Structure 1
Amino acid sequence: MADITGNTRNTGAPDGTVPAPRKSSWRYIGPGIVVAATGVGAGDLVATLIAGSNFGYTLLWAAIIGCLVKISLAEACGRWHLSTGRTLFDGWASLGRWTTWFFAVYVVIWGFVYGAAAMSSSALPLQALFPDVMDLKWWAVACGLVGLVFVWFNKYAVFEKVMTVLVGVMFVVTVYLAIRVTPNLGDAFAGLLPVLPDEKDSVLNTLGLIGGVGGTITLAAYGYWVNAKGWTDTGWMKIMRLDNRVAYATTGIFVVAMLFVGAELLHSANVAIASGEKGLIQLGDILAEEYGTATSKFFLVGFFATSFTSLIGVWHGVSLMFADFVARLRGEGEARGGDEVASGRRERSWAFRAYLLWLTFPPIVLLFQGQPFRLIIVYGVLGAAFMPFLALTLIWLLNSTRTPREWRNGWLSNGMLAIAGLLFLVLCVKQIWDQPWSEFF
């Protein structure tokens, strides 16, 4: 992506990490697969599916631009970690105490609400596959507990291998469906031209599709996964960039495949589905009618893989960020915090496990009692604000003396991050505006 300087200087890896290779190689990739699997949740797939259902192939270009925007953000996160040896939170803390307060409020409220959403999303396809076993809420609790146990007792290496297997399932299912519906390749190529749908609010809807492709806070977690892989210095920069491109090429395949399904299976038949994860359950019913029960069940397996990778990805990645946040507050943040992540000490810390418990047990209450209205509004506002916060702080960090000169932003990186910042700022304002504030007070 941006700022490819060709520099592969190895500044010396800590004990237990892999020496930086002389050249980039596919066999090293891994964090990119993790961020792709975590970032593409059921909500992203159904949003792309609905875009295909409503507009056919018209917004194919927007889905691809969404992947390019996320490439630039993830590359910037990874470049910060490798070029400075410091973690992203350490960089945020250097910008002032306001970043600490924002992250503290965000990570507590976001984790509480997201935990319930992730467990429910993973439970939906399981209940559809095994309707007579138990209630949806208990499936959700089981998913949360399995995620907790898996992340608690396994370190990054095992976590990455499991995520890779689940991504393989997602890939096979989505590509199979895209081929099964027999896409019109002529119309698909026409969809690469940047044309807006002829409808009210088409600009905002298009921006929403661009911004919704593949991850929010998980983009910030990418740098932590890079360190957890054992990549801690600039000798790994080329590998990180290859890894990042693989991540969003994979993401692009997922979302384009689902847009094909929406365009061919739903748009041509003028079939509407619900927003949110329940729309994917409806799609499973439509697939059963069109192509048989086996195809429907195959799709539900892919739906579960998509949802569960997001669950365990957040359980691991955001807990890693929270552990680094706590270490920094306690004065334990070191000059090369990336080495601490690479050593596995963050994964063994009490803060990592405390946040794992926070993501799992308090949200179970929401599963049984319903989500409190005011908290959902605050969650929506904080979630909308995170992406412009990430984009704009990365511009700040990577154009300052905090970053070694040779690894600072070039014009392409600055341009892409500025576009991302403006895009997410517009979407943030829209989401805040759309909240039912009159009912909040």
Structure 2
Amino acid sequence: MTSTGETDGRAGGGNGAGGGGATGADTAPAPARKANWKLIGPGIVVAATGVGAGDLVATLLAGSKFGYTLLWAAVIGCLVKISLAEATGRWHLATGRTLLDGWRSLGPWTTVYFAVYVVLWGFVYGATAMSSSALPLAALFPDTLNLRTWAILCGLAGLAFVWFNRYAIVEKIMMVFVGVMFAVVVYVAIRVTPHLGDAFAGLLPVLPDGSLFYTLGLIGGVGGTITMAAYGYWVNAKGWTDAGWIGMMRLDNRVAYVTTGVFVVAMLIIGAELLHSTSIAIGSGDRGLLDLGEVLEDRFGPVTADLFLVGFFAASFSSVVGVWHGVSLLFADFVERVRAARAQGTGGEPPVLEVARGQRERSWPFRAYLLWLTFPPMTLLWLDKPFGLAVAYGVLGAFFMPFLAATLLWLLNSDRTPREWRNGLLSNVMLTAAGLLFLALCVQELYERSW
């Protein structure tokens, strides 16, 4: 399969159509492609999608409460995301099977779990994402439209963009969003004049009193959502469809999350220098970024404040575009496999599915989920409590990442994966640590919501 290969399902010659896994013994090894910086893209898409306004506020609050002390946690968080995304991409490329295909091979319980999760999560997240994107627009253009109207327009804009475009265009617009986010946040971090000595001292692992949950959140929160599972689908949509692309995928993934790491560090610097050193408090949730905008206006003037709001919008709306596209790909693959199993009539492993590149984006399940993400959640906007939507979203989101880490461990240590591409010691350690971390975050989230 070359870079212009025509499948994004079970590419690579049908590596194991049955439930026994893909050994690759009946196919020639794919030639290794040279990693090329010009081809970087899917990693940027998944990283930008995962970094939303809530993650920015969590990082900002960590900096405002503990200064640079938790900088080390942000670095570890990036390493965790690199490990998860690499494992997802490696599964797709080494086996020629999608992640939904792999989950299905673990038993019917995964299908039931995903079906319930993706429907409920999509309903809540749709409203949360639209509201988050609307906040900076309402602040930039006061006395024009109300917050609900801005939110609806953001949802419709995301729907139209993904409906009429394919992955290549989605990637390009996400690159623009990342550029805006990165430039604005790094610019503000430089303006607040960071103390580099304190920043380097923050690389030493220290846990101040009362910082445990902030530390866990900083490690696990930035860039970690269901869109981590979409990375393999975006890799395939890019045209990377066999094990020969694993080197390129790894470069793509590392560059994306190193960029995210710089972004997170910049937010921590802003929190430490602008808020911690002056004891200025901001609100939680997306409202905290609006509060920060007011602080920036008082300190540096309206131009810097408006630039920050533009970066806030880029961070929020990039999540709309990324989720509308990536999770719809997941849902479309899920429907395809359920229909294939029913057609087979045995309830067992479905036959090999060859899906032409771009065809999934035109399928009715893909577009049905797009509509599900857009219109039913709009009913929640009439509650006039856009920040409270994050409560249900947080509870639902907490369950997915432990599931992802655990199933990747299972898949990549079994004969479902060709031996040369199974997990090594480092991958197993990182995925195990990620699973335990996200399980702790899940328990924390449930505990907080119960009070």
TM-score by length of 1: 0.92
CA displacement, residues 271-297 of structure 1 (integer Å, 9 cap, x when unaligned) = 111111110000000000000000000
1:148 has 2:162 as partner: no
Say if 1:27 and 1:377 are closer, same or farther in 2 by CA, change over 3 A.
Answer: closer
Amino acid at match of 1:389: F
Superposed, which structure 2 residues align to 1:303-382 within 5 Å? 303-331=312-340, 340=355, 343-369=357-383, 379-382=393-396
SS state at 1:347 partner: helix
1:236 aligned partner, one-letter code? W
Distance 1:420 1:156, change over 3 A: same
1:262 maps to 271
2:183 pairs, out of 147, 172, 175, with 172
Structure 1, 368-377 or 186-195: larger mean CA deviation:
368-377
The answer for the alignment partner of 1:205 in structure 2 is 214
- Could you tell me how far apart the structure 1 residues matched to 2:6 and 2:434 are? 37
Structure 2: gaps of 5 or more residues: 9-29, 342-348
Judging changes above 3 Å, is the alpha-carbon distance between structure 1 residues 371 and 301 closer, same or farther for their aligned structure 2 residues? closer
Q: Deviations over 1:322-356 (max 9, x none)?
A: 0000001000797665x62x611110100000000
> What residue identity is the alignment partner of 1:14?
G
Partner of 1:7: none
Count how many residue pairs are aligned between Structure 1 and Structure 2: 424
- Paired residue for 2:47? 36
Deviates more, 1:364-373 or 1:378-387: 364-373
Whole-angstrom CA distance in 2 between matches of 1:141 and 1:374: 17
| Deviation at residue 205 of structure 1 after TM alignment | 2.6
Give me the whole-angstrom Cα distance separating, in 2, the residues matched to 1:376 and 1:173: 25
Q: Among the aligned pairs, what percent are the same residue? A: 71
Q: Equivalences for 1:16-165 in 2 at 5 Å?
A: 22-165=33-176
Equivalent-residue separation in structure 2 for 1:369 and 1:129 (angstroms): 23
User: Cα offset for 1:318?
Assistant: 0.2
- Report how far residue 253 of structure 1 moved: 1.1
Q: What amino acid maps onto 2:362 in structure 1?
A: R
Letter in 1 for 2:288: G
- Encode CA deviations 1:404-441: one digit per residue, 9 max, x unaligned: 0000000000000000011111111222223237xxxx
Distance 1:274 1:20, change over 3 A: farther
2:239 to 230, 243, 246: 230
Q: Which amino acid aligns with 1:345?
A: Q
Report the CA distance shift for 1:210/1:15 in structure 2 as closer, same or farther (over 3 A).
Answer: closer
Structure 1 partner of 2:309: 300
State the one-letter code of the partner of 1:204: F
The question of whether the paired residues in 2 share the 8 Å contact of 1:53 and 1:263 is answered with yes
What SS is found at the alignment partner of 2:69? coil
- Residue-by-residue CA offset, 1:353-397 (whole Å, 9 max, x unaligned): 000000000011000135799998765443211110000000000
Aligned counterpart in structure 1 of residue 397 of structure 2, from 383, 394, 402? 383
The answer to whether the aligner puts 1:401 opposite 2:401 as a matched pair is: no
CA contact (8 A) 2:42 2:231 kept: yes
Could you tell me how far apart the structure 1 residues matched to 2:67 and 2:292 are?
16
Aligned partner letter, 1:209: L
**SS of match in other structure, 1:331:** helix
Structural RMSD (CA):
2.2
Distance in 1, matches of 2:380 and 2:192, equals 38
Deviations 1:202-247 (A, max 9, x none): 3233112211121210111111100111111011110000000011
Contact persistence 1:109–1:379 (CA under 8 A): no
SS of residue in 2 equivalent to 1:192: coil
Gaps of at least 5 residues in structure 1 are 1-9
Query: For residue 291 of structure 1, what is the aligned residue in structure 2?
Result: 300
Closer, same or farther: CA 174–343 of 1 in aligned 2, 3 Å: same
Question: 1:171, CA displacement in angstroms?
Answer: 1.0
Q: For residue 310 of structure 1, report the CA deviation from its aligned partner.
A: 0.5
